[in-house]
A and B are shown apart, each in its own frame.
Chain A
Amino acid sequence: MAGTGTITEQGITLSGASYAVAGRPILSGLTLSLTEARIGIVGRNGSGKTTLLRLMAGLVAPTEGAVRIEGADPADRKAMLRHLGILFQNPDHMILFPTVGEELAFGLRQMGESAERAAAAVDALLAAEGRAHWAKAATATLSQGQRHYLCLLSVLLMRPRTILLDEPFAGLDLPTQARLARRFATLPQRLVTISHDPAAVATADRVIWLDAGRVRADGPPADVLPAFTAEMARIGEADADADLAG
């Protein structure tokens, strides 16, 4: 399926954006301008990757600073649907409907399509994916990987110009990961991929290393990833859990 998106120059901008919960800073003073087609965000567990995604997606508002998607405030999700799609870290936090067909149709209905056209688009998509038999399947009976795939399909169906992917490969077996990676590579959209695994973002145009809510390094993967991998190995040697509360 072809996306309608063209990669614009404005992209995603954060200016001095911070986010704190109950006075505890989780993200501090991020200033970024993301215009590349493939962007990777890496960091340890708890470094604030998912929080950054939620901030960019307009699901939480920055406690300081501002976030703009192609010049607009992402908090108006309805207006943002064409700009930004989100693949959550946990598919179980994303699937809203009892059957696959309803789940897929929902996004299109939200974008103002009629029920009939949404249903037709869903059937066409599933047929193109070779999964026509999924339409009536119960979402609860799909395997973890299948649910993940369903979530991706529901995002792709809405054809947003930018897609935020939170740990898109977690919990998937190797063939599925490979298939998914190939699929991502062909997408015309801007992809922001969040991962703790450097391999997942090795082919990105730009990689941002997030550490304790701040940017630790930012640049092409060839510069950022070796340092990141070395640091992770160093921490792994030490007592890794000593700073879990961080």
Chain B
Amino acid sequence: MLTLTSPVETPLHRLPAGAKLAGLCLATVVLFRLDSPVPLGACLAMLAVLHLALGLRFASTALRLLVPLWPFVLVIAFWHLWLGEPAAGATILLRLVTAVAAANLVTMTTRLSDMVTVIEKIAAPLRRIGLSPRSLALAIALAIRFLPVLSQRMGQISEALRARSPRRAGYRVLIPACLAALDDAEHVAEALRARGGAG
């Protein structure tokens, strides 16, 4: 499965995932407290230096993860330039980009299995309302297993529709796709029971 964890091994990969998450929470709180462009700009600059220290390839991947923010950056930039308050606009944008980049950094340097372990730990108290960490881990594994299966099924369905109709499959894939997911769910439930259930 393709994850956002960076294949470029960095020293940050070796830090415990829990510590990185706690650090991220703290950093995000601080970022939302800072209210002017200069300290925020300093934070972003530090983060950028950290990325560069981890390698050029790593930094450019991180930069690419920020690309989806561009429509918001555009809207905010025009909005505040038009109102004549560039400092306020810069504050918002610097905070947004820094917070997102910091969170992405944790994602990029933490393996999926380590994340799942942390989640199991965080979810342990939920045992009292009947949600065992084991079934949570099982649900995560099942969903990951069926991502490629459903995706393939969706492709087959739209091919089957196109084979019998000149139009693009479009929304007509939705009902068979849902039915496929429902059928698979029944099979999975049975396969789980066959191997002793999810209890």
Contact = CB atoms under 8 A, between A and B. Distances in A.
A111 B196 CA distance: 8
B149 A88 contact: no
Interface string B185-199: 001101111111101
A231 interface: no
Contact of A59 (B1, B141, B190): B190
B144 interface: yes
A239 B197 CA distance: 43
Given A138-B1, A140-B148, A140-B149, A110 B196 contact: yes
Contact of B145 (A57, A88, A90, A97): A97
Interface residues of B, number: 20
Contacts of B148: 138, 140
A97 B144 CA distance: 8
Contacts of A138: 1, 148
A98 B138 CA distance: 11
B30 interface: no
B181 to A, nearest CB: 13
A86 B149 CA distance: 22
B77 to A, nearest CB: 42
Contacts of B192: 96
B142 interface: yes
Determine the main DSSP class of B at the interface with A.
helix
Given A88-B191, A93-B187, A102 B149 contact: no
Interface string A80-94: 010000101010111
A101 to B, nearest CB: 11
A90 B187 CA distance: 10
A78 B145 CA distance: 23
B154 to A, nearest CB: 14
18 contacts: A54-B190, A59-B190, A59-B194, A77-B197, A78-B199, A88-B194, A90-B187, A92-B187, A93-B184, A93-B187, A94-B191, A94-B194, A96-B145, A98-B1, A98-B141, A107-B195, A138-B148, A140-B149
Contacts, number: 61
Contacts of A102: 141
What are the 9 A-B residue pairs with the smallest beta carbon separation, nearest first? A110-B196, A93-B187, A140-B148, A78-B196, A98-B145, A98-B144, A86-B194, A94-B191, A81-B196
Contacts of B188: 93, 96
Nearest to B183: A93
Identify the interface centre among A77, A94, A96, A154: most chain B CB within 10 Å of its CB. A96
Identify the interface centre among B141, B193, B196, B197: most chain A CB within 10 Å of its CB. B196
Nearest to B142: A96
Contacts of A92: 149, 187
A154 B192 CA distance: 13
A95 interface: yes
